[in-house]
A and B are shown apart, each in its own frame.
Chain A
């Protein structure tokens, strides 16, 4: 998995908000786009945890969704392990896993086990493989609450299921979009511990967060985004040099780079 590399070249993405009735009724169809990412050029190395830092609206989620093939960029190319997100999305989907804070992306009328059985098949695992994989992941994440309906689970448990689903097909790349959001302190620590274990297993991890302390705990490199632009990318030391300070904390570096 060492060779896995995520490459973005000249990637830009804008979104068009829906037209207001006032504009439609006055035949004014001009729509101002909101820029989510602007001319992003990046080469991300494998076997590391990359913290994607930025405030709300910085472009973190858009970046992860573009890498996961759910969104196509307006301009530029994205290649994952040499596969293009536009043309080889099926191949990419089999080597990535996305963990979001979206609780509704499971079938709430089914129980946890039924949900994972379903997604295992959709990820191409046969019954035996799925059973072995799910049982193993249940053990790792300490899940013993699999036969209750999904809507009865706590937020922490739902997040664990989200992580287990992302790992079902043993992907080389994992994308985490604010995984500790609305989790209590203990569960957050537990989750961060699992993410570190995943790195030790050779996974490439993108960890989007606006919690700089968490990122500093587990990430090797940091990508600082602001209003869709890259303000810095590198290790803490490399970023420190950019602000001419060898001893700056990550928070200080972040604040300096974002001009706060």
Chain B
């Protein structure tokens, strides 16, 4: 625990030393929310039929998806970006010289970004409630937490897979590329997957993000219970069970390969 706290404190101190970046982040969130507010004004009514099952308009749908996507983005990107940043700074080698378990280093690296993403989510939600009057009163707290935790774990596992690629390839990470390119398009973040042609909907059903976004929308806006969301959390659980051991194995393998190649500090 002390080592995880130390990693967290170190990341906080480094982040706090970039004061302007923190303020810009708040403006970035507000700007993206406003963009989707005006897109909704222009085209929102055209996809209202596809949003019927969620019982919300386009803007409410996309605001929650984007807020939630912050967590998913953290899961996918935080490990590889932290590893890459430590590689570029030159601190990865000194960190790996300490008698610290790799899993603890990974957890510590991911945790700060998770806290930062929570801040983003709170900004999204606060803007939604106070500026745009979105109604979150139906949300089912237990279902939301379960979907959230399973999503963070499954996407963190994908993130660790992505970090394994970074350890070996340094740049040009195929896992991250596939996820970033197709998850937004196929996962129902910016529009419900019902809008997609049937063939793409079938592909979307193989992705964890589809179940994560759908689960969170229904838990928050419709107040669905865990029983009603069994398909969503069930699939997410399967993703977790497959991805956790795969990702940890791949990271250990990548680290060993980098030690064998002598490329740990190369970037």
Q: A residues within 8 Å of B by Cβ?
A: 13, 15-16, 36, 62, 65, 68-72, 74, 90-91, 93-94, 98, 102, 104-110, 114, 117-119, 121-124, 126, 165
Contact = CB atoms under 8 A, between A and B. Distances in A.
A72 B17 contact: no
B89 A107 contact: yes
Interface stretch (B61-69, B109-117, B218-226, B256-264): B256-264
Given A74-B260, A114-B13, A122-B3, A107 B91 contact: yes
A71 B262 contact: yes
Given A15-B262, A123-B98, 15 more contacts: A69-B97, A69-B259, A70-B93, A70-B96, A70-B259, A72-B259, A107-B10, A107-B89, A109-B17, A114-B10, A121-B2, A121-B3, A121-B5, A121-B6, A126-B2
Contacts of A94: 99
Nearest to A110: B13
B9 interface: yes
A171 to B, nearest CB: 10
9 contacts: A70-B96, A70-B259, A90-B100, A106-B91, A107-B91, A109-B13, A110-B14, A114-B13, A121-B6
Interface in B1-36: 2-3, 5-6, 9-10, 13-14, 17-18
A14 B2 CA distance: 38
Contact of B98 (A117, A119, A126): A119
B264 A70 contact: yes
B101 A90 contact: yes
Interface string B86-124: 000111011111111100000000000000000000000
Contacts of B2: 121, 126
Nearest to A108: B89
Nearest to A73: B260
A109 B97 CA distance: 20
Contacts of B89: 104, 107-108
B10 A105 contact: no
B91 A104 contact: yes
B99 to A, nearest CB: 4
A102 B266 CA distance: 13
A121 B94 CA distance: 13
Contact of A118 (B10, B93, B101, B256): B10
Nearest to A71: B262
Contact of B97 (A36, A70, A72): A70
A206 B107 CA distance: 34
A107 B6 contact: no
Q: Which 6 A-B pairs have the closest CB atoms?
A: A104-B90, A121-B6, A122-B98, A93-B99, A105-B94, A94-B99
A258 B25 CA distance: 59
Nearest to B260: A72
Nearest to A74: B260
A123 B18 CA distance: 27
Contacts of B18: 109
Interface string B51-72: 0000000000000000000000
B66 to A, nearest CB: 30
A156 B89 CA distance: 20
B98 A72 contact: no
Contacts of A126: 2
Contacts of A15: 261-262
Contacts of B97: 68-70, 93, 98
Nearest to A61: B262
Contacts of B91: 104-107
A50 B222 CA distance: 71
A50 B109 CA distance: 37
Contacts of A90: 99-101
A108 B14 CA distance: 9
A174 B262 CA distance: 20
A124 B98 CA distance: 9
A16 B99 CA distance: 28
A118 B262 contact: no
A222 B101 CA distance: 35
A122 B6 contact: yes
Interface string B214-235: 0000000000000000000000
Contacts of B6: 117-118, 121-122
A109 B14 contact: yes
